[in-house]
Chain A
Amino acid sequence: GENVEQHPSTLSVQEGDSAVIKCTYSDSASNYFPWYKQELGKGPQLIIDIRSNVGEKKDQRIAVTLNKTAKHFSLHITETQPEDSAVYFCAARASGSARQLTFGSGTQLTVLP
């Protein structure tokens, strides 16, 4: 089955700096890669996603890049703000009848004021 590795596990940045979180996946059949933000006591919230026919996608301060050959994808947050502090999860889903996501282990992002 699919295996998703996520790095780093913790990340501290100064307010206004950029943050980058990286993930690798094992199943070459995976074609959908969402990123979730989880705040304390809440469920994961989808912040951006990318499909395998696209190499990059941007939404305001958030961008995701995908390298299918190397089987890795990254989340980039620019101009970080204290409210960006949370746990971020990457995930991957293969095509086919099974529609579940396989999640990475999470990155605790702390934005220091």
Chain B
Amino acid sequence: GAGVSQSPRYKVAKRGQDVALRCDPISGHVSLFWYQQALGQGPEFLTYFQNEAQLDKSGLPSDRFFAERPEGSVSTLKIQRTQQEDSAVYLCASSLIRGRGNYGYTFGSGTRLTVV
């Protein structure tokens, strides 16, 4: 598609519920990132995929957070047993890598998760 698509746009979960957030990156983009953005803050890195390989998951806040990208395109971020502190906007971004160059990300509009 023309941009990065995320679904759902909004999710309300009861505390303790499991949620799954979907990201559909730009076609052909090798790199895919998940970020968490708390209200009034900048995005914070969660995890990074190059194709289907998860190369960095150092930003995942706990073992309740899990991400996958099994075929190197669509990615899912799963949060188990949600807690109130998980409430945030979850942003997905994709990027085209060429050699060792730096290229900007394209972000999706995010999923706003509210845990009640």
User: What is A's interface to B at a CB cutoff of 8 Å?
Assistant: 4, 6, 31-32, 34, 36, 41-46, 49, 51, 89, 91, 93, 97-106
Contacts and interface: CB of A to CB of B under 8 A. Distances in A.
Contact of A46 (B59, B105, B108): B105
Given A43-B4, A98-B56, A103 B44 contact: yes
Contacts of B107: 36, 43-45
A103 B36 CA distance: 11
A105 B56 contact: no
Contact of B42 (A31, A41, A106): A106
Interface residues of B, number: 25
Report whether over half of chain A's contact residues are helix, strand or loop; otherwise say mixed: strand
B2 interface: no
Contacts, number: 59
Interface of B: 4, 31, 33, 40-45, 48, 55-56, 58-59, 91, 93, 95, 102, 104-110
Most buried by B among A45, A101, A104: A101
Given A6-B42, A97-B56, 13 more contacts: A31-B102, A44-B91, A46-B105, A49-B102, A89-B42, A91-B42, A98-B48, A99-B48, A99-B56, A100-B56, A103-B44, A105-B41, A106-B41
Contacts of A32: 102
Contacts of A91: 42
Contacts of B58: 98
Contacts of B45: 100-102
